[in-house]
Every structure is written in C-alpha cells, then in structure tokens.
Structure 1
Amino acid sequence: MNNAFRLGVVINPYAGIGGSVGLKGSDGADIRDKALAMGAEKLANQKMARALSVVQNAGGFTVLTAGGEMGEDCCKQLNLPVEVIYQPRQTPSSAADTEEAVRALVDSGVDLILFAGGDGTARNVCAIVGDKVPVLGVPAGCKIHSGVYAVTPNAAGEVVKRMLSGELVSVRQAEVRDIDEQAFRKGKVQSQHFGEMQIPDELSYVQSVKMGGREDESLVLNDIADYISELMDDEPDVSFVMGSGSTVNQVMDTLGLPNTLLGVDIVKNGEVIASDVTAQALLEAVSKTPARLVITAIGGQGHVFGRGNQQLSPAVIRAIGRDNIWLVATKQKLQQLDGRPLRLDTGDESLDSALAGIIPVITGYQDKVYYPIL
C-alpha cells in the first residue's frame, strides 16, 4: 500500500447541530448541549458518509482518520481501508481534538484532507494545515462562508474520485472565513478572513466564497417584494414560511412585518404567527394547513437549501411540496453564478433528486426566469 493514495478524514460530529433548532450556529459546548436538549440530531457523519460512498469501490487508497465519531465509525460502516492515527482526548470531542487530529494527518503525509464541518471547523483545520496539504470540506455546518467547501457532500466525493483515478486536478488557494455567531444571532453578518488553504480546483464542484451585496438593487428588490405581497394577499388562510436572507427580508419590510433576518418565520393572513421557528415547529405548522415557502438563494454560491436554513428540513420541504416553493432572486444574483446551477443540499439525496430540474425564479414584478437547480 505504499503507493496508495492516502486520504485523511476528519469529522466534527457536532457540526451544524444548532441549525435545525434555530440556534444559528454550533460553536461552543453550551450551544451543543442546548441543541441536543432541544432534540437536534448529529448529521455530520451522515454527510461524510455520502461523500465517501462515491469512492467506496474505487480502490487504490487508504483512509487515515481519528477514532470514533471523528471518522473511524463512518469509514468502518462503509468497509473502507482505514487506519486510526488519533484518538480524541474527550467525549464529546472538541475543537482541540480537531486540530490535533489534523496535525496527526499532516505528520502522516496524507495526500488530501477531507473534513466535515462548518466555518468553525475550517478555521481549526486552517490553523494547522496552512498550505502544507490540500484540503476539501464536506459541508455540514450552519455557516458555510468559506471557499474551501464542496457544493454538496456528493460533490466532495466526486472531486476525490477524480484524484483517485489519476486525473489532472489542479489546486488553488481558497479563503477561510467565519462570522461572529453572537452577532449572527442578532441578525448581523460580520464575516472575517482567517486565512487560506489549498483546495482541488474543480469549479463545478467547489463553492465560491459567500458574497454580500455590493450594488444597490433596492428598486429590483422592491419590485419583487411588491409582487410577492400581492400574491400573498390573494391566498388567505395559507401559511407562508419565510426563509432567511436579505431578499426575503425586503418582502417582510414591504408587508410591514417584523422579520428574523437569519431565521425562519411564518406569516398567515398578514400577520407573523411564529418567529425564528425550529424544524419541528415548522413541520407541525405546515402539516396542519396549506403552506408555501418563500426562499432565496445565497449570493455567489447559489445554494437554495442546506446553507443557513437547516430549519427547512427534508420533512418540512416534502410537506410543503415543490410546487409551493416561491424562489426569489434578482437577475444580478443569478448572473453572479456565471452559468452554474442553483444548488440543493437538503441532506436527503432522494429529495434533492425530486427537487432537481428547471425551477421558476421570481426576478421582478410579474417577472420570472427559469433556471436549473441540481
């Protein structure tokens, strides 16, 4: 096995655990414990399993990883050739364990480090790796502002598969960014640069750094908001699930309603009936009444589900239904994708497949375009 590709695998088991219960982050033991007490599920291992299943039968590689939920369990479930080179010092594992596991992988001479987490995990990895070893993130966190992540877990697996097959895959520098979670919970996005790492340069599989608004699109946003407002007026007794983001926020402003900028609210008959709701509360609400979802895509990345809106669980999305999704975005936001499709990462592959295709996007007053979503 001396000539085999050496794939390093690290999982932050608690990445994204605060998302489905509306905590807007997972950093810190207090948030982790609160999320677990609220019934949140650990999904990072499932997402890494989706990535690794793509190369499960590829051969020609061995996995070096950390013990238990930090990688060993996932690899053994998939019957991958695995060597455990680090044991977490505590249970549950900590950010320090992530850094020590990454250090062990670097010292062991791995060819690529595949890690599952969010922006906090990317910071931990960057603190040790720098530019020593190429890395690739499997998106599993609440916050994915960094450019070191694949667009979906499956996409991460496809990149690794190409490397294993001997294809020429260039590497480039990508930015690691993170935001202040305390400010985030107050509706403020304060993103900070923490460094850069080398990633495989497969642009169709690796996401861009999240973009903030750089141009004044207020007139277009007002047109979109006016149109959505009229459509909502025509549907009394329907529960409107209002997703996160500035575009939906503009709709709420037009309606004269308070809004959770970085959360999910429910509007019915012109009033907010629930604010900053959890996945479970959403499911209960949309299961009892006709519902529509008003949602936008993340600028620069094109993600519709799976980034900052984990409250929109697969069960919630299924209950609402594809035909009841109102996707809103300016044409400029779509142009920023440079031809790339809108992205799905609900955490449920069968749901992603059912949602994929061509979807109408409301881009102005009585104005729609049809755009691919995958």
Structure 2
Amino acid sequence: MVRVGILANPDAGLGGRLGLKGSDGQAELARSKGAEDRSGPRLESMLRHFSRIHRGESRQIEWITSSGRMGTEWIPVDLEIGTTSEVHQSPGKTSASDTQDAVARLLEAGIDLLVYSGGDGTTRDIVASLSGSETPELPVIGVPSGVKMHSGCFASSPKAAAEVLSAWIHGDLLVSSTEVLDLDEDLYRKGKWVVRLYAEAFSPNSPRWMQGSKELIQTESEDEIIIGLSDHIGESIVEDGRLVIWGSGGTLREIGGNIGFELTTLGIDATVGSEQVGTDLAESGLIEILDSHEGPVTLLLSPMGGQGFLIGRGNLQLSPAVLSSIGIDNILGVVTPAKLLTVRSLRIETGDDSLDQEFAAKRYMKVLQGYRTTRILPVSVD
C-alpha cells in the first residue's frame, strides 16, 4: 500500500490574471476583483490525468488529505484511483499555519510522498513543516498553481505531475534534492526582483517532467547585444498602427527603455507606434486593448532562464483568451546569448489543453537573439 498525501493551497495563483504579482496576503483582494480558483482545479486536473495514465492496482493507493477546500473538494468522486482518508479539516480561510498544520497531520498518518498544489510560498510552508519533523527528506511533487514558481520541486504542468507520481509509484524514479526559491512579493510588487534560496526539498528526479529551479543569469556586460536587439525591435516591430505587447523581465524593460518607453519590469505593458497605451496590465485590460485594436499585433516574450518557460510562469495575465486574441503566430521570443546557454527549448503551459496543442503543433518558434539575428528553438508542451 502506497500512502500519498494530497494538499491544495486554495488561494494560490489567485492574483495572476489580475496582475497582482503573487497571492501572499492578496486572496481577499483577488476574490473581490473576481478571481477564480486556480490551485484546486489544477490539482483535480492532475488526478484525472493520473487516472488515465497510471497502470497499476489502484486499490494499493491510499490518498491522505484534508476535508474541504484544502483537499477533498478537488478529488473527483467518479475516479477509481484508490481510497481516500481525511485526517485534517480545512478552515474557511486558510493561512501558512493551516498548511503547516495539515502537513503535520499528513505526516502523522504515515504518508510516503506529498503531492501539493500551490506556488513557491506554499512550498516554503511545507518545507518548514517537514524540516521540524522526523521525515525531513519526504519526497514532494508540486503541481504548479502559483503566479511564479522558481523552485525545482514543481512538475512542469498538472499532467507532468501525474506522470511523475505514476513513475515514482512504479519505482522508476530516484529522489534527489532541489532548491526551494521564492520572491519577496512585497518588493516584487514594487518592481524589484529579489529571489532568495530558503531551503532544499526532495523530489523524484525527472528532467523530462520536473521543471527545475530558475537560474539567475550573471554575465559580463551584454550592452551591445541589448542595443542591437533594441535597434531591431525599434526599426522592424515598433511601427505606426502595430500593437506591441511587452512581456515581463529585465531584458524587455531595458530594450523598451532604449526605444523610449517606460516599461514595468514585472508587468505586461502595451504600445502602439511611439505611444504607450497600457502599463502593468491585467487580463481584462489586455482584452480591452486587443478588442479595440484593428491593426497588426506582436507579443514579445523573454523565456525564463534555466526553466525555459515562455508562457505559464510569471505572466498569467496572458490567459488563453488573451493568447487566442493575439494569435500564436504573432509571438516572438527575445533572448540574449547568455540566456540561450540555459534554454534548450521554449516551454509552454497556457492552462488550456487545446491551446497547448496548437503550440505543440508548431514544433518550433522563432526567437530574436541580436540585431537582425534570429534562431529557431523547439517548443516543449507537457
């Protein structure tokens, strides 16, 4: 009998499409603005995929969880994936202490592995609880559901988490240590990118399905490269009548500054010709601008160093509705040579299976790496 702990942070990821840059302390605000659950449905998606791909005796799996929104609410009753035991009661409103208390109850029940749905903040809470227990090296699998996931214990998607879990149950994967990273969200909302290493966690080792931790790319000055990228974008893309949507990140902010725009480092901005028409836009603001624009559109995105995510990490404002309105053929990656050393493919996770498959069907996407210099990178969709 394998005992799998399963836990959801019901508030994780709420602020993503609203451009709140994290959900720590923002849950009530996000819900008041109409935010919909993200973490629980993604946990349910993982379980449904697990039921389809797992080849084994489901009666030999016992799911240990919390009653309510931190657990049972997201476990589909129509799936035959084993038995479920409740060892914790979810409160109406949850906090970090509730996560830690739930983990403690799961550990007391003797779980062999913990699957959780949340973001980096949830990971920190879980690891804090594990570190004070008798099983600090208990393996964990994160279902990525936050706004930004920098830690290496996350699978690359809910489906990938199911694949990892199934392989681990079959004994096909070893467990190794990985980094637990998190942004300071207060500084993040002020436009400062401060990522800290908090601890280590232990996860099944699967380069195919696990995302790995974010890498901070430190190089000698790439000023000439940035100037070349700025010249190319300014000459060939920023033109009268063209709506340019600028993704987040320091590279694009610097390029925009060279052209004459004041872009946010961590938000999504929009320009038409030489005019800036949107700053730090939420999903609704992007849709409004797209609906009112009649000319060509280009979305500029810079992939995340190390992980390679182009869509699905730190830019949840780019919802399936926004991406469909833009059109996947109107997306251009922008990457410096130093970052290319850590990015072998462009990873995509839109949150919509049919849209993910449209990206997968492209197989390759073009990235701009210098003045009039492009490169083709493979698309990776789990």
TM-score normalised to structure 1 length: 0.94
Alignment correspondent of 1:86: 88
1:268-314: CA deviation from partner (whole Å, max 9, x where unpaired): 12111111111011112112224221111011110111111111111
Residues 170-209 of structure 1: matches in 2 within 5 Å?
170-209=174-213
Distance in 2, Cα, partners of 1:62 & 1:218: 55
Task: Confirm whether residue 18 of structure 1 aligns to residue 19 of structure 2.
Answer: no
Match of 2:129 in 1: 128
Matches within 5 A, 1:15-164: 15-28=12-25, 31-57=26-52, 58=54, 59=58, 60-77=60-77, 79=79, 80=81, 81-88=83-90, 90-130=91-131, 131-164=136-169
Structure 2 counterpart of 1:236: 240
Write the letter of the residue equivalent to 1:298.
M
Identity %: 35
1:253 aligned partner, one-letter code: G
Q: Does 1:300 align with 2:310?
A: no
C-alpha distance in structure 1 between counterparts of 2:7 and 2:332, whole Å: 37
Q: Offset of 1:77 from its aligned partner? A: 4.4
The residue aligned with 2:276 is 272
The answer on whether the counterparts of 2:217 and 2:338 sit within 8 Å (CA) in structure 1 is no
User: Residue 47 of structure 1 contacts residue 116 of structure 1 at CA under 8 Å; is this kept in 2?
Assistant: yes
Query: Aligned AA for 1:102?
Result: V
Partner Cα distance (1:193, 1:330) in 2: 25
Q: AA paired with 2:4?
A: L
Matches of 1:37 and 1:250 in 2, distance apart?
34
TM-score normalised by length of structure 2: 0.92
Q: Does 1:318 align with 2:324?
A: yes
Q: List alignment gaps of at least 5 residues for structure 1.
A: none
SS in 2 for 1:159: helix
Q: CA deviation at 1:248?
A: 1.1
Counterparts of 2:372 and 2:41, CA distance in 1 = 41
Per-residue deviation, 1:194? 1.4
In 1, the alpha carbon distance for the partners of 2:174 and 2:50 equals 19
Indicate conservation of the 8 Å contact 2:4/2:113, yes or no. yes
Contact kept in structure 2, 1:146 and 1:175, CA below 8 Å: yes
| Amino acid corresponding to residue 331 of structure 1 in structure 2 | P
Distance 2:242 2:71 in 1: 44
Q: Report the AA paired with residue 95 of structure 1.
A: A
TM superposition shift of 1:115:
0.7
Deviates more, 1:114-123 or 1:343-352: 343-352
The number of residues matched between the two structures is 364
RMSD between aligned residues: 1.5
Quote the offset at 1:78 in angstroms. 5.1
3-state secondary structure, aligned to 2:340 = helix
* Deviation (angstroms), 1:54: 2.4
CA distance in structure 2 between the partners assigned to 1:212 and 1:55 by the alignment: 33
CA contact (8 A) 1:129 1:197 kept: no
Task: State the Cα distance separating 1:166 from its structure 2 match.
Answer: 3.2
Distance of 1:66 and 1:260 partners within structure 2? 40
Q: Decide whether the 8 Å contact of 2:44 with 2:76 is kept in 1.
A: no
| Residue identity opposite 1:62 in structure 2 | E
